[in-house]
Amino acid sequence: MDKVDVENKTDFADMENKMDSGDMVNKTDRVDMENKMDSGDMENMMDSPAGTVFEFKKVSYRYKQDRAAALNEISFAIPLGKKTAIVGPNGAGKSTLIFHMNGLFSSESGEILFKGERLNKKTQAELVRRVGVVFQDPDDQIISMTVKDDVAFGPTQLGLSASEAKQRAMESMELVGVTHLADLNPSELSFGQKKQVAVAGVIAMDTDVVILDEPMAFLDPSGQRHIQGIMELLITNGKTVIIATHNMQLVAEWADHVIVVKNGACLGNMSPRELFCEHPHLLEEANLDLPPVAQMFHGLWEDRAAMPIQIEEARRWIQAQLNAVK
Ligand SMILES: Nc1ncnc2c1ncn2[C@@H]1O[C@H](COP(=O)(O)OP(=O)(O)OP(=O)(O)O)[C@@H](O)[C@H]1O
Ligand SMILES: [Mg+2]
């Protein structure tokens, strides 16, 4: 980590203590924020013992009546407190799913459960306050005239005082490594820098679910490692983290759980190891590739279930072979 040592940044727990999650507001309040739930509804959502953060049951969505469905009776569940990756080819429906997960879109049919509770109009509106999303295109969520104001926008909407929101924004910018951009106008930033600012804005809200649509796109290798470190830190602090990605090595290295999507339907819902070692045909079906490490070993390995899929696993195996011939 060459910007900030995220391992040593444990301010989240403190931030969590400070925050009343019932006040959460996402800046992209395209849903009717007046339509907020009452506290009784919220308690039901917060106290649910369910082990899933989201359950989609036969959910369909169409952008336009004359167009093919973007989501086609899709069903899957995402575990609470875990690292989940949604993968699939371009146009598979990943971003459309994410728009449903923070309440921006309403499904045409089917049902969505959040922490075991079926969403209704009120609870769907509340999602935008409880689920932080870094959109695929950062221009969809950066709206202020300076980076620091933009990062402070979410906490301000949560009801924090100006000084608390500023403090939260400073901590979040430091964590993400964008403090040097604080006084710039976001329109002057590169795409990768805008994406980092969007990440800082969502971190500053301290939601208990964080979703990142293509978090690594346009980031340099150091920026990618840094964001991955932050994703780990979020998990350490009890959050649920969901990403949509085309980066299969990231899935192998990072995810606990992977959902394969194509044509708005779920082809598979399993661990990365199960997907890459036992069901690689699903990747082919979804026009995806094995991660590079698994590509190297695929076909060579008799016991497929034990095939290295992570860089460290491959390194250890190669080292063992080298030691054996010494
Ligand atoms: N604003 C829109 N209006 C109409 N159709 C849309 C719109 N956005 C997406 N779609 C369609 O919905 C389907 C799913 O798109 P979505 O953006 O969810 O895919 P994705 O899996 O996120 O793709 P990518 O990997 O390119 O980000 C595609 O067929 C796409 O053409
Ligand atoms: Mg997308």
Tell me how far apart the alpha carbons of residues 215 and 127 are, in angstroms, rounded to a whole number. Answer: 21
pLDDT for 93: 97
Q: What angle do CA 114, 119, 125 make, to 5 degrees?
A: 100
pLDDT for 78: 97
SS3 call for 25? coil
SS3 call for 134? strand
Q: How many CB atoms lie within 10 A of CB 3?
A: 18
Question: Whose CA is closest to atom 7 on ligand 1?
Answer: 63
Tell me how far apart the alpha carbons of residues 226 and 250 are, in angstroms, rounded to a whole number. Answer: 13
The answer to whether 234 and 12 are in contact (CB under 8 A) is yes
Question: Measuring CA to CA, which residue among 245, 186, 212, 76 is closest to residue 132?
Answer: 212
Partners of 117 in beta bridges: 114
| Domain extent listing, the chain | 6-289, 291-326
Which CATH number fits the domain 6-289, given the four candidates 3.40.50.300, 3.90.600.10, 2.70.98.40, 1.10.10.10? Answer: 3.40.50.300
Partners of 84 in beta bridges: 242, 257
pLDDT for 11: 40
pTM of the full structure: 0.85
Tell me how far apart the alpha carbons of residues 54 and 187 are, in angstroms, rounded to a whole number. Answer: 34
The arrangement of strands across the sheet holding 71-79 comes to 71-79, 52-61, 109-114, 117-118
End-to-end CA distance of the chain: give it in Å, rounded: 35
Torsion sign, CA atoms 103, 135, 26, 205: positive
H-helix or E-strand spanning residue 202: helix 191-205
Tell me how far apart the alpha carbons of residues 127 and 105 are, in angstroms, rounded to a whole number. Answer: 11
pLDDT for 129: 84
Q: What is the pLDDT along the chain (326 residues), one digit of tens a residue?
A: 334 444 344 343 343 333 333 332 333 333 332 333 333 343 334 433 349 999 999 999 999 988 899 999 999 999 999 999 999 999 999 999 999 999 999 999 999 999 999 999 899 888 988 999 999 999 988 889 999 999 999 999 888 999 999 999 999 999 999 999 999 999 999 999 999 999 999 999 999 999 999 999 889 999 999 999 999 999 999 999 999 999 999 999 999 999 999 999 999 999 999 999 999 999 999 999 999 999 988 888 878 888 999 999 999 999 998 999 87
For the chain, the residue count is 326
Q: Is the CB of 141 under 6 A from ligand 1?
A: no
Environment of ion ligand 2 (residues, CB < 5 A): 94-95, 136
Testing ligand 1's pocket by substitution, the residue of 30, 56, 87, 95 carrying the most ligand atoms inside 8 A of its CB is: 95
pLDDT for 72: 96
